Amino acid sequence: MIQLSKALSAWPSPEFEAVMKQEIECLDADLLPLQQGLSQSSHARSDKLSARIISVVEETDCLRVKAGLFYTGIIAGCSCADDPTPVDEINEYCEVRFDIDKQSAETRVVLLAD
């Protein structure tokens, strides 16, 4: 389970977006729907993740944060010794929504459709 307690504590200060961005970028990438968000490659890389906060909506019980995630993917070959396919990184982007519970900071992540 994801907990974004620093971001929740920063709400509604002017520092919220910076804190939220930093918390997203420090998350274990396996907790994010990067693989499901691929559009040009077949395997998501988790080592170069960058986030951009698009919007924030305060609900009664949660904060809904829409964010764009920038990362890379690769088109995986067969990994044979004589495989001529180079392993090139391809830039990927997807949009997600973080629903942060205002009481516990427990956060649900949803991949948004294009």
Q: What is the pLDDT of residues 47-92, one digit of tens each?
A: 889 999 999 999 999 999 999 999 999 887 655 666 666 667 899 9
Round to whole Å and give the CA distance between 33 and 86.
25
How many domains are there within the chain? 1
Higher-pLDDT residue of 62 and 114 is 62
Round to whole Å and give the CA distance between 21 and 53.
7
pLDDT of amino acid 94: 97
Torsion sign (Cα): 85, 87, 90, 92: positive
For the whole model, what pTM was predicted?
A: 0.88
Letter string b/e over residues 76-87, b meaning 16 or more CB atoms within 10 A of that residue's CB: eeeeeeeeeeee
Q: What is the pLDDT of residues 9-27, one digit of tens each?
A: 999 999 999 999 999 999 9
45 pLDDT band, cuts 50/70/90, is: confident
Domain that residue 82 falls in: 2-111
Helix (H) or strand (E) holding 20: helix 16-26
